Amino acid sequence: MKCLLVANESAEVLFYWTDTEFERRIQGQYGVSQEEGQRLPAFEDSINTLFAPIIISCSTMVDRLGDNYTSFRTEDNHAYVLHQFEECLYIAVNGDADESEEDLKRKIHVMKKLTEILFGMVTLNGALLRKELRPQDTEQRNRLWKKLRSLLETYSRLREQDQSFLVEAVERLIHPTLCEQCIEFLERRLVQQINSSVERAGEEVLHAFILVHTKLLAFYSSRNASSLTMSDLLALIILVQDLHPSKIDLDDMTHEELENSSAPDVFYTPEPSPPDRESVQPSDSPPVIQFVDPDIQMAEDSLQTLEVPTPDPLAPSRVFLEATHKDGFFPMMPHSMYCLPLWPGITLVLLTKIPNSQVAMYVYCCLEAFVNLENRLREGKEGTAAMRGQSSVHDIRVKLDKFIKNLVSMDIQTSQLQNVWTDFKNKAFTRSGSGVTRELLPSCHNMKTQLCVVYRQCFAAQCMRSSQRLAPHLQERALNMVQEKLIDWKDFLLVKSKRNITMVSYLEEFPGLIHFIYVDRSDGHMIAPSLNVTDHTVSELGKGPLAHFIKNKIWGFVATARRYLHKGYTTVTLRDGDYFYCYFLWFENETGYKLEVVDIPSLPEDYAPIGMLASDYYKKLRRYYSKNHQNEVVKCYELLTVHLGVIPNEYILQHCSQLARKLWEPSRIPLL
């Protein structure tokens, strides 16, 4: 029984998701009407009624105490986890004990990450985010909420089934020769050909990668591109899996079924309509004449006009990703994502830079300047002290005046921004104004709002023009090129994605080893034997219940290791029944030399969950460790192992050390 809700300070529901059990409970509790056309709004009212006291209570505590509670349990043992992001309150609920409070917290932060990927800097302003999450048009709102619910369910499914989303790292297909060939193909043929075409509508391919289900076959970034963060890459894989879910279970298919499923070259492109009547071929069968009641026909025509149009499979999605340039770090920069299915389970993804993306960089720079000024004014620093450590008042004034002129030349509506900016200048820069004092705080807030309005006007998904994208036949040509490259490999790749690494190859050298997960936290890549736990197949973990039992043990120990890491422990050994578990986190330099062990800080309870998807904990950990290694590149690694409990402890620790050295080389396989 699960639920996730996003609300603003006015207790207005901006988004909610519930499973069937929670929905049934609400319907029973509030007597939701089951009449046609009445269920959805009535159910939303019931959700609002249920959560309104909690939301109002949180808002009151923040206003009066400056603090809020983060979790609580009800008498019927329902767990509630809450987190405030700016002006929005996220609430996650679990009533069947399937999810811990840490799981609910992680779900909230992942939902926040997905909204940032979809809406960008609009998420920094509560009023604008409300317009995005809760459009006035009911049909549009239902479509958006359906998409967000689907993304949340996709993430939950991946985290439950896929080891890479369990540890929040990307798994690569281990085939060095093919990976290297594909990277070279993406660089020298695909990306180069697209970027040199006159039909790219001003867009430039920055990143191109090939996924086999959730595993990465090849990844290429152009020289002009900043590196793609692991957080963004994991979020993009969720989006790809949501658009083209992996529905083929190779464990349950015979060889003949596998060949039939991947043999035909199917392109999901609608057939073109005939240009005129003369082009229609006559049929040999006699025509069928039907007489339809005019009223019935009118009703059918009306229903057809209300149907949601089928989305164009070649239309890109607008995504907002982190970017690093010579001028600095810029979060939530707009990109177009083209998700082109090669075959079921194999997907080509292109990330392009859009022509007016420099506007987003200017908006972020201006936002950062006003946020810094606002913080200093709140601290009581006024005049020159408020501007210390950042650009001078004169520099900000010159940059913003120039920026607004550029926006006007691009036919972007800036009247509100100009009015607010004029008001700010009159207060800050004229003799009759108050100067740089706390009285500027409302003006700073208004400036931030109007900058976000311009950002939304330029980059919101509904503002995407059909002409502003790679030409359809250019996308089809790219699709055909990759299919020709991989046509002889497709069946192998689909099987390899399910049998990437097997434990059999490790048992002779490490007797008693049941499973391991090795993660390079510097690059965000992981290596682990495949887990296949279907009831129809005998795998290395056994069959049916036994395989599920061991899988659940692994998932549980990952959660245990994270709890100890949260407290500052980098080594955990645990005996549980017939199994012995080990977890290690350590640091190395670029040459593979292991660096000395240090005490890492424990984290506060309200800290973001440990991982790389919602917040990159390991990047901050490496930065902390690097303080004493200024002249070295610090790498971070994790190893989790599961052994049979009868193996002596000294042999288990020896296995872990040897296994880490053995896995160090495969992690150096070229990927980018």
What 8-state DSSP symbol labels residue 200? S
The arithmetic mean of pLDDT across residues 11-39, rounded, is 78
Mean pLDDT score of the chain: 84
Residue 20 has pLDDT above 70, yes or no: yes
**For residues 120-148, average pLDDT:** 94
- Given a cut of 50, whether residue 277 has pLDDT beyond it is no
User: What is the average pLDDT across 541-554?
Assistant: 79
Q: What is the pLDDT of residue 205?
A: 96
Q: What is the mean pLDDT of residues 577-594?
A: 93
The predicted pLDDT at position 396 comes to 79
Measured between its terminal Cα atoms, the distance across the chain in Å is: 42
Q: What is the residue whose two structure tokens read 């208004």? A: 446
Dist. CA 376–CA 672, nearest whole Å? 41
Residue 63: the pLDDT is 83
Confidence check: pLDDT of 433 > 80: no
Confidence band, pLDDT 50/70/90 cuts, at residue 540: low
How confident is residue 574, by pLDDT bands cut at 50, 70 and 90?
A: very high
Q: What's the mean pLDDT in 171-185? A: 94
At residue 628 the predicted structure's pLDDT band, cuts being 50, 70 and 90, is confident
- Residue 563 amino acid letter: R
Work out the pLDDT band at 393, boundaries 50, 70, 90: low
pLDDT band at 131 (very low <50, low <70, confident <90, very high): very high
Q: Pick the residue with more confidence: 37 or 127?
A: 127
Among 264-278, 424-438, 543-557, whose mean pLDDT is lowest? 264-278
Task: Output DSSP code: residue 595.
Answer: P
Long-range contacts of 322-329 (CB under 8 A, 24+ apart): 322/226, 322/229, 322/231, 322/232, 323/226, 324/226, 324/227, 325/226, 325/361, 327/361
pLDDT at 493 over 80: yes
Average pLDDT over residues 620-638: 92
User: Are the CB atoms for 355 and 203 separated by under 8 Å?
Assistant: yes
Task: Tell me the CB-side half-sphere exposure of residue 659, using CA atoms within 13 A.
Answer: 35
pLDDT at 303: 44
pLDDT at 371 over 70: yes
- Residues of the chain with pLDDT > 70: what percent? 82
> What pTM does this model have?
0.88
Range of lowest pLDDT (147-151, 233-237, 252-256): 252-256
564 vs 432, higher pLDDT:
564
Instruction: Work out the burial of residue 344: count CB atoms within 10 Å of its CB; fewer than 13 is exposed, 13-18 middle, 19 or more buried.
Output: middle
Give the separation between CA 194 and CA 198, rounded to whole angstroms: 9
The better pLDDT of the pair 324, 507 is held by 507
The CA radius of gyration of the chain, in Å to the nearest whole number, is 28
Mean pLDDT lowest among 31-40, 281-290, 399-408, 473-482: 281-290
Confidence category of residue 544, pLDDT binned at 50, 70, 90: low
Which residue did the predictor score with more confidence, 408 or 133?
A: 133
pLDDT score at 182: 96
The closest of 323, 360, 339 to 206, measured between CA atoms, is 323
Q: With a cut of 90, say whether residue 116 has pLDDT above it.
A: yes
128-145 mean pLDDT = 94
Question: Which pLDDT value is given to residue 658?
Answer: 94
Q: Rounded distance, CA 477 to CA 410, Å?
A: 32
- Pick the closest to residue 356 from 450, 459, 462 (CA basis): 459
Which value, to the nearest 10 degrees, does the dihedral of the CA atoms of residues 617, 622, 627, 630 take? -150
- Tokens 């998409």 correspond to what residue? 147
DSSP 190: I
- Which 8-state DSSP code applies to residue 393? H
Range name among 74-83, 262-271, 485-494 with the lowest pLDDT average: 262-271
pLDDT, position 171? 96
- Tell me the CA distances in angstroms from 151 to 7, 17, 465, one per residue in order: 19, 11, 24
pLDDT at 62: 83
**Helices 545-566 & 101-119 angle (0-180, nearest 10):** 80
Alpha-carbon dihedral angle through residues 303, 31, 142, 1, given to the nearest 10 degrees:
-130
pLDDT at position 231 over 80: yes
The string of pLDDT tens digits covering residues 186-195 is 999 999 999 9
DSSP-derived pairing of the beta strands 317-325 and 328-343 = antiparallel
pLDDT at 606: 84
Q: Which of 242-251, 390-399, 456-465, 573-582 is modeled with the greatest confidence?
A: 573-582
Q: What is the pLDDT of residues 471-480, one digit of tens each?
A: 999 999 999 9
Among 106, 135, 105, 103, CA closest to 122: 135
Cα dist. 212→336, 348, 497, 538 in Å? 21, 9, 6, 23
Mean pLDDT of 632-654: 94
Tokens, residue 520? 């390079």
Measured distance CA(209)–CA(220) in Å, rounded: 6
**Span of 164-168, 351-355, 630-634 with lowest mean pLDDT:** 630-634
Strands of 204-212's sheet in order across: 215-221, 204-212, 346-353, 328-343, 317-325
Euclidean distance between CA atoms 507 and 384, whole angstroms: 68
pLDDT above 60 (res 275): no
Average pLDDT, stretch 83-94?
Answer: 93
> What's the pLDDT at 534?
57
